[in-house]
Structure 1
Amino acid sequence: MARRSSPEVNAGSMADIAFLLLIFFLVTTTIETDSGISRKLPPMQEDEVEPPIIKQKNIFSVIVNRNNELLVEDEPMEIGALREAAIEFLDNGGGTGPEACDYCQGPRSPNSSDNPNKAVIMLVNDRATEYGTYITVQNELVAAYNHLRDRSARRLYNKSFVQMEEDYDNVNYSGNKETLKEQIEEIRNMWPQKLSEAEPKS
């Protein structure tokens, strides 16, 4: 009895199918991107420049130890109270004359910051500080700046600062983008984010 030959599978179009599947997955797949902490590094300088002299009262010191405990202005503090303390420091407006702040709403204590443009928040971490604590402290300090920027944006332009930034990034925004950019820069100049991180202690 003669053997029957098995029918061959036509594999001629397999390469085309694989190529189409590859294109499909490339088009439909979304790539997750890690969102980091936005920080601007100081520019490189060829000549050594002496750092500016900052009055001690214009420095808000935040120290995080290896046990994830906070020492703020040499006083123990819970992380939950950090944002309010930073807002009070930045919004103090204790300066007089050319250093006066006409938009600050703080107590104007002569023992705290003169002006938001002179106020610096200095953060010092221990090398053994947990990463989660580090991020939480960073978030609270940045939230203090965001709160003050939002307050000024609502007072001046009747719109939240976050909404202003979203409108500027929106390609379909119908308003004047140049004017909006100037307004955003004005708010940022009123509350410049001066957050200094010192070398972690071991």
Structure 2
Amino acid sequence: MAGRATPEVNAGSMADIAFLLLIFFLVTTTMNSDAGLQRRLPPWTQEQKATDQEVNQRNVLMVLVNGRDWLMVNGQRMDVIQLREKVMEFVENPQNNLSFSERTVKNIPGIGNVEVSKGVISLQNDRGTSYKMYMEVQNEIVAAYNVLREKASQEKFGKKFDLLSEDEQEAIKKMYPQQISEANPRNAAGVK
């Protein structure tokens, strides 16, 4: 009895089909975007070059986050929820307390002569700091400035910051300039 030949499957077009499926899934798949900081750095000017100098230690609020996500503010351990109030107190310094930032009088168009803080928030993280903690600290610092700006816009213009004109918003931002200095992460725990 003669053996019957087994029919062969034509696999020549299988590679083409696999390639088309790959292209289809790449085009139709959506990627999750990571959370990031919604900040735009101000443009660098010659004026900044002249003002870049050593800052009086009184005008620096040291915010450190270690590899265990512990928050230290000026050498004292603190919970993240306390950071906003601490930043506001440091920047605002209503009684000119020597343990908080100095204030200088500036003439701001649309507002007049106003005392403005010379305070700088210095933020340093450990390489082991979690991204979640890093974002929480950043959010609390920015929230402190937002609260101060909101309060000032109500006092000076009688309306919310978001409802102010561009010029009015710029005036309030000059009243409470967001000065955050962020150092490169360090290897406190020996992590490389």
Which structure is higher in strand share? 2
User: Partner of 2:98 in structure 1?
Assistant: 110
Residue identity matched to 1:148: L
Residue identity matched to 2:61: F
Contact 2:124 2:183 in 1 (8 A): yes
Contact 2:120 2:181 in 1 (8 A): yes
User: Partner of 1:191 in structure 2?
Assistant: 176
User: Partner of 1:139 in structure 2?
Assistant: 139
* Alpha carbons of structure 1 residues 33 and 76: separation in structure 2 relative to 1, 3 Å: closer
Quote how far apart the aligned CAs of 1:35 are.
6.2
Quote how far apart the aligned CAs of 1:50 are.
8.7
Gaps of 5+ in 2: 1-30, 104-115, 188-192
| CA offset digits 1:94-134 (Å, max 9, x no partner) | xxxxxxxxxxxx23202320124411000000111000000
Task: Give the aligned CA root-mean-square deviation in angstroms.
Answer: 2.6
User: Partner of 1:121 in structure 2?
Assistant: 121
> What stretches of structure 1 move > 3 A for 4+ residues in a row?
31-36, 41-45, 48-51
Gaps of 5+ in 1: 1-30, 93-105, 165-179
Give the share of equivalent positions with the same residue, in percent. 37
Separation of aligned partners in 2, 1:126 and 1:145: 24
Asked whether 1:182 is paired with 2:170, we answer: no
Asked whether 1:75 is paired with 2:81, we answer: no
Contact 2:63 2:121 in 1 (8 A): yes
Separation of aligned partners in 1, 2:149 and 2:171: 10
1:153 match: secondary structure:
helix
Quote how far apart the aligned CAs of 1:148 are.
0.4
Query: What is the total number of aligned residue pairs between the two structures?
Result: 143
Residue identity matched to 1:138: Q
TM-score (norm 2): 0.67
Separation of aligned partners in 1, 2:172 and 2:42: 21
